[in-house]
Amino acid sequence: MEKFDIKSGDMLEFSSDSVIGKLIRWRTGKDVNHTSLVFKFGELYTLEALGNGIDLHLLKNRIDKFRGRVYWYPLHDYLDEYRDDIMKWALMQIDKMYDYESLVANLFGRVSVNGRLYFCSEYVFAAYKSVGLAYGDTACRPGEFGQFDLHKERVRIK
């Protein structure tokens, strides 16, 4: 991770080798199936909606244990002023529960962001929306953040 200038507010997307990951990619037509945010506080961490809710993990450990590919999406430099506010909002969501119902519904149609529960890309969408960088009421799926032109070209880091 040292060779990359990864910063708070950047996004990561994952392409797992799991059956669920493959199902999500098949359904969405995208090459990724999970989305998270980066938090830098001395070390690099990932903030993400996983099965037990919004979690904070040491990024190096998360990537080392992950089976699949990981992509880093750096925010454009002109958006640096939003990084702290993105992270303030994102950190306030720790311990919110996972949105299983919306995850399943999202495979068959679009779901609205309600702010009580989150699945992975819904969480990242809501974080960006909280500072005005994303818009609309419909949660993004993994691989759909390009519509907002927030990130530089993605970089594969695993």
Residue 67 domain-assigned?
Answer: yes
Residue 130 neighbours by CB distance under 10 Å: 18
Structural domain of 105: 11-153
Residue 3 lies in a domain: no
- Tell me, what CATH number does 47's domain have? 3.90.1720.10
User: In this prediction, what percent of the chain has a pLDDT beyond 70?
Assistant: 91
Asked if residue 5 belongs to a domain, the reply is no
Decide if 122 is inside a domain.
yes
Categorize the per-residue pLDDT at 2 as very low, low, confident or very high, splitting at 50, 70 and 90: low
Q: How large is the greatest C-alpha to C-alpha distance in the chain, in angstroms?
A: 40
Alpha-carbon dihedral 106, 109, 110, 112, rounded to 10 degrees? -80
Nearest in space to 7 (alpha carbons), one of 38, 47, 36, 35: 38
Residue type at 40 in one-letter notation: K
**Per-residue pLDDT averaged across 21-29, rounded?**
92
Segment 49-89, tens digit of pLDDT: 998 899 999 999 999 999 999 999 999 999 999 999 999 99
Reply yes or no on whether the pLDDT at 155 is more than 70: yes
Question: Over the stretch 100-121, which tens digit does the pLDDT of each residue have?
Answer: 766 666 666 666 677 778 889 9
Mean pLDDT, rounded, of the chain: 92
The predicted structure's pLDDT at residue 95: 85
Residue 6 lies inside a defined structural domain of this protein: no
**Is 103 contained in some domain?**
yes
What is the count of structural domains for the chain? Answer: 1
* 1 falls within a domain: no
What is this structure's pTM? 0.92
